[in-house]
Every structure is written in C-alpha cells, then in structure tokens.
Amino acid sequence: MVNESRGIRAATAAAVLLVAAIAAVVSFVHIEHLAVTHGQITLAAVLLPVSIDGTVAAASLVMLRAARAGLGTPWLARLMLGLSVIATLTANLAYGARYGLTGSLLSGWPAVAFIGSAEMAIGMVRRTRKAAPAEAAGAGWTPVPADAESAAMAALRATLAAGNPLSGRQLETRFGLTRAQATRVRQLITAETNGHAPETT
C-alpha cells in the first residue's frame, strides 16, 4: 500500500508538472507575440511573459513553502498571485480576441491550466500535511499538541530519543518560534532529560 501510494503521488506530481510546463510555454508564446505587436521591443517582449507567469510560479512556491511549514499564507504572496493571474488571463484572452470568442477561449486556456496546476500542487501538499497526524495516530503515535512550544517540545523529545535532536534553528523554522522561545524549549527539555523538573510559567 505504501509503495502504491507513493507511485500514485509520483504519477500525479509528474502529470501536474507536465501540464504546467506545456501551459507555461503556450502562454509564453501568446504574451510574447502580443507584446511584440503592441510596441514592445524584442527583449521586453521576451521578458514580459517570464515576469507575469514567473510571478504566478513564485507566489505559488511561496505559498507552497508556507503550507509545507504549516504556516499561514503570506498576504503579499496571495496579492501577487491574484494580480499575476489577472495579468496572464487578460493577456492570453487578448491574444485570441481577433479571432472572436472561440479564439479568446482557446488562447485563455493555457493560463487557466497553468494556474490550476499550481493550485493543485499546493492543495496536494496541504492535504498531505493534514493527513499526516491522522496516519501517525492510527499507527499508535501520540498526536502533536496544537500549541507551538508544546509541539516543539514533543518533537525535540522524540528526536532526542532517536539520537538526532533538533537544533534551535530547526525549532524556529519548523514551529515558527522566536529565538528566545526555541532556546527556552531546548533548556526545558535539557533540564527534563537531566532529571530536573522543568520550570513552568
């Protein structure tokens, strides 16, 4: 079941990436041609679709990283994603406008496919992270506390027992702790490991 699940995930990821790549290339051609025929020099015309669809990709990757880290979506990434989505849709639809409604719909599809593929990839990661605690509980693991410091302490205990304790920087990154909080967590677990009752506040 594990191998089958990994195979399905790999095939799904490959399909999403393939569709995104094809859509990105077609969208690039549309925007580049539109730019050339509307007063842009060659260099600007080539870079313009990269800046538009590149912003879609960049914002999606920022959101993906936040999802993987279990953090909230940065507002600037959400704003830039929205603006770049509007820009790429508008440019692709405008490219086919001279051929009527059908031309606009056909030209606009690559932008929709690219954006949809990026969002599906983010959704896959978020669902995987949500499913992980349930799978761990089913396997007999103790659920991770909702509080960030408590979760960090639980993780540090587990990694310490495994002989590979998390560093302060790892605690900060994975659980969104400040340096002072990460230091406190390490001090509490160190005191606990040494047989001293940890201080509480």
- In-domain check, residue 121: yes
Q: Give yes or no: residues 82 and 162 share one domain.
A: no
Rounded to 5 degrees, what angle do the CA atoms 51, 54, 58 make? 125
Distances (CA, A) of 40 to 29, 96, 107: 14, 18, 20
Task: Tell me if residue 45 falls in helix, strand or coil.
Answer: helix
Q: How many domains does the chain fold into?
A: 2
- In-domain check, residue 115: yes
pTM over 0.75? The answer is no
Per-residue pLDDT of the chain (201 residues; tens, 9 = 90+): 445 567 777 788 788 888 888 888 999 999 999 999 999 999 999 999 999 988 988 888 888 788 777 777 789 988 998 999 999 999 999 999 989 999 999 999 988 988 888 777 766 666 555 555 544 444 444 444 557 788 888 888 888 877 788 888 888 888 888 888 888 888 888 888 776 554 544
189 phi, psi to nearest 5 deg? -70, -35
Q: Give yes or no: residues 43 and 95 share one domain.
A: yes
Q: Give yes or no: residues 61 and 118 share one domain.
A: yes
Q: Give yes or no: residues 27 and 124 share one domain.
A: yes
Neighbours of 194 (CB within 10 A): 7
- In-domain check, residue 198: no
- In-domain check, residue 199: no
- The predicted structure's pLDDT at residue 131: 53
Q: What range defines the domain where residue 115 resides?
A: 2-137
